[in-house]
Amino acid sequence: MNPTTTDAMLPDDALDAFARAVEGIVARSYPDALPSPVTFEAPRRPEFGDFSTNIAFTLAKAARRSPNDVANALIERLRDESPAIAARFTAIDAVAGFINLRLAPPAWQALVARILRDGMNFGRALPRNERISLEFGSANPTGPLVVVQGRTLSIGDTLVRSFRYCGYDVFVEWIINDAGSQVETLGRSLFARYVQQYDAAFPFPEDGYPGDYLVTIAQAIVKRDGEKWRNLPELPIAAFAEFGRDAILAEQRATAERFRVTYDLWQSEKELRASGRMDEDLAKLRAMGLIYEADGAQYFRTSDFGDDKDRVIVRSDGTPTYFAPDIAYHYEKLSRAGRAIDILGPDHHGYIGRLKAAAAAMGFSGKLDILIAQQITLMRGGEQVSMSKREGNIVTLDEILDEVGVDAARFFFTMLATDSPLTFDLKLAVEQSSDNPVYYVQYGHARIASVLRRADPADVDAARHSPALGALTHEAELALARRLAELPRVVQGVVDNLAPHRLTKYARDVATEFHQFYTECTILVDDRELRLARLALCIATKSVLAQVLELIGISAPETM
């Protein structure tokens, strides 16, 4: 007899029971074979079943039989020795050496009941007491955030949300690169724009930052201070560098918050140096024998830990290189977290080897991961949008948000693997059609909300709190339930592989399964048991869609 919904195992529990039973059979039948756990994956073709295991392949040599013969023997023994477990599946077949499994409907009905019970906590892990430092988005405080920072912000924040879903304690950091020559260049550029408010012929630095955003800051200084800075004995470049840094940093923070990204720490590199912490950290590394002198300069022994050469950290004139504060800052991050993850822009490939070598040298081998967010090409329909920061015709992240909105921007920025170049079609991002992936997913959520509004409120309440789900047997219903069950595994895959694009794909997959169910199965039917069961499936789907949209950082609209 097949199990009913009330006594059904959840899919994972049924698979665990199957695995334990088969492992017991293997231990008794093939005592000389190396122990091998039974693991599962989804078959490449859905008609082969819900899950598949390759355990027969690992036993074929010891059994001196073909994998398919071993698979058939295991299935026969399972049916004889564990009929109650076999009854949890509508099909257990040997195909080309694989054992393919199709779970009985009650397992998927139990899964829907679990989602209804757990709501927005479905699949969330308990706290692991493991801290991760995640740094992303960090930009020089010399201009507004641009498109590539939008991508790193989306990727980074989606990872933060995913790690937290999986139970990790995540500390989110931004390093303010305000101690290098670029800030001095910012000061000269801003001072020139300030003077030009009075004298349009005042020369602009050849290596300056030409964007119009500095004109706006200069005008604010004029309004506040008038001509105070024009005729001083020395050019007030340091003061203007500070003015520019503070104004631009405030704008960057505001843009990040608008983009629904928050940080636990905004670490100034200048403050890190002034505090003496950088010198203290480098002194510790010298004491460890990791720093040596040559030709008047100081080198870090990164080549001993996989880098292609040792790196200068203090020049012969006594000034630190950019790498020195990077080493000190990573020493601090890794000292207070079990693992650190950096997401850098497309021009930072050369940093991977040296930073990982530095982490290993400091005793944190394997504790630092570095992702490179590849370049973005902006399109508007069939026309490429020109972008050049040096020429001053930059496209800021705020301009993108003004044009397409936060939801579309975050979804599009996250759609492809981090190391893949991304083409962002601004025209597509605002289309209200199924071709626009974010619209397609959000419409799925809104369509469910519409169904629930049209239903009798008493039916919706009964479906949410006391559903009888045995009527869910249609293939479209079971396919949707199978897809909902994937959420915890998908998020774990995002975390394990640092692959947030898997969430946008999963969101589209859920929406596709729901739209198919909506097409094939009338929800508000006369049969009350079936009507309540389908409403319950709608509620569960709405909850999972809301969760995955929240993980991506976008809204789940009730109407569209």
Pick from 266-270, 345-349, 361-365, 512-516 the range whose average pLDDT is largest.
512-516
Q: How far apart, in whole angstroms, are the C-alpha atoms of residue 117 and residue 409? A: 33
Tell me how far apart the alpha carbons of residues 438 and 430 are, in angstroms, rounded to a whole number: 9
305-320: average pLDDT: 90
The CB density around residue 522, as the number of other CB atoms within 10 Å, is: 11
> Residue 7 burial (CB < 10 Å; 0-12/13-18/19+)?
exposed
Residue type, 242: E
pLDDT at 5 > cutoff 80: no
Tokens of 97: 């050496």
* 8 A C-beta contact, residue 64 and residue 92: no
Q: What is the predicted pLDDT for the residue at 389?
A: 54
Question: How is 417-484 classified by DSSP, letter by letter?
Answer: -TTS-EEEEHHHHT--STTSHHHHHHHHHHHHHHHHHHS-HHHHHHHHHS---TT--SHHHHHHHHHH
Listed range (343-357, 460-474, 529-543) with the worst mean pLDDT = 343-357
pLDDT over threshold 90, residue 46: no
**H or E element in which residue 131 lies:** strand 131-136
Q: Rounded mean pLDDT of 504-530?
A: 97
Whether 1 has a pLDDT exceeding 50, the answer reads: no
Residue 469 pLDDT exceeds 70? yes
Q: Is residue 175 predicted with pLDDT exceeding 90?
A: yes
Q: Is 349 helix (H, G, I), strand (E, B) or coil?
A: coil
Give residue-wise pLDDT tens across range 413-426: 999 999 999 999 99
Does position 33 have pLDDT exceeding 60, yes or no? yes
Question: Which CATH number among 3.40.190.10, 3.30.1360.70, 3.90.1200.10, 3.90.950.10 corresponds to the domain 5-103?
Answer: 3.30.1360.70
Per-residue pLDDT, 278:
82
Residues 6+ apart with CB under 8 A from 483: 509, 510, 513
Q: pLDDT at residue 405 above 90?
A: yes
140-155 average pLDDT score = 94
The pLDDT value given to residue 392: 53
Instruction: Answer yes or no: is pLDDT of 6 > 50.
Output: no
> Domain residue spans in the chain?
5-103, 109-126+433-552
At 114 the three-state DSSP class reads: helix
Any alpha helices (H) in 211-290, and if so which ranges?
Answer: 213-225, 237-258, 269-274, 277-287
Distances (CA, A) of 288 to 28, 282, 283, 285, 521: 54, 10, 9, 5, 69
pTM score, two decimals?
A: 0.92
The pLDDT of 497-518, averaged and rounded, is: 98
Lowest mean pLDDT across 4-13, 406-415, 502-511, 528-537: 4-13
**Hey, what are 300's tokens?**
């870090």
Tell me the pLDDT band of 2, cut-offs 50, 70 and 90: very low
Least confident residue range of 64-78, 158-172, 381-395: 381-395
DSSP 26-44: HHHH-TTSPP-----B--S
Instruction: Tell me the C-alpha distance between 192 and 175, whole Å.
Output: 27
Pick the CATH number of 109-126+433-552 from 3.30.40.10, 1.10.730.10, 3.40.47.10, 3.30.450.40: 1.10.730.10
Q: How far apart are CA 198 and CA 219, in angstroms?
A: 10
